[in-house]
Structures are given as C-alpha cells and as structure tokens.
Chain A
Amino acid sequence: MNDNQPVFEQVMEIIENGIINKTWQVDELIISTTQISRLYNVNPATAMKAISRLTERGILYKRPGIGMCVAQGALEKISAERRDVFLHQTIDAVLLEARTLGISLQDLIDELTTREGTHSHD
C-alpha cells in the first residue's frame, strides 16, 4: 500500500485492475474480504468498504449465499472512468512537468510519436 491514498481506494484499484486484466470475469466470484485483508495486510473493515463502494458504483453485485461477483458491463465502466482520468489528470500532470522542465510541446509530440512508432513494431 502506498502512503498517499486512503487504503480503501487502493483496494478498489486492486479489484478494478483484476477486472481489467480479466482475472475476474463477468458473473465470476472475486477475492473475499478475508483474502484481501490477509494478502495485502489491510483491515477487513477497510476491504469491506472498498467492496461496498464498488457495489454502489455497479461494478460488483452480491450473489446471495455465494459472495461478490463482477457485474455486467463492469469492465466497460472502469475503462471509461480510467480513460477520463487519463485524458484529464494524467495528461495535465505531464504537460505541467514538461513546462517546469522546459520541454517544448513539439519535443513532447516528437517523443510520443517515436515511442508509439517503436511500440507498434513490437
């Protein structure tokens, strides 16, 4: 766990990552709060809070007698949210840092183009 975000948000991210990389697919059971608290050394109450927030957002749902499962459309919902964060906050931060370091916009564009070029040859 890092030191700047609330732990429950970090647990939410761990679960979201698991859905994005398809560790848990739609209607499949996710990791339990007990398992989360053991694995990541977090308080079970905190793990529970992360799961209830994801349930409120329609990412997870409860299957009575079984446990928490991935909801229909969860992957798309998470991707859309992350896309939004990337296009705004992440890019803002990159632009700001570039300005601080005196990297021109053109240099930045050139750098991105070269990178994308090498990646597409992979």
Chain B
Amino acid sequence: MKFEESMKELDDIVDKLESGKLSLDESVELYSKGMKLCLECADKLNDVKGKIALLEESQQGLVAKLVEVE
C-alpha cells in the first residue's frame, strides 16, 4: 500500500474507533490494524530518504536516473 493510502486508512480507523459505534470485537480488531499501520508509517518516515531523479527516455519508456540538485 502507498504511504498516502496508509495514512488515509489510519485516519479512517481513528475516526471509526472514536465514533463509538463498534462492537468490542470490532474495536479490538480495528485497534490492532490501526497500531500496525502506525508502526508501518512511522518506520517509513524513519527509514526512507527521498531521492531526486531525472526521467529520461529509453526503450522501456521513461526511466528514472538519480541526480543531484544544488
């Protein structure tokens, strides 16, 4: 899942949990899922470093070539 989608799902889970409309079983299940997402998102923020790349034409279409931008 893309980070964007993970964050959206996390927001949805928090909202659902806070709505108070769930059974206890559903709450526990969503809580587990939400905490897992929290860890995944936090890991991504801690571990991944963004890159800058130039898209160049190739036989396979556009390919990314890493570049340095001052």
Q: Do A and B bind each other?
A: no
B residues neighboring A (CB under 8 Å): none
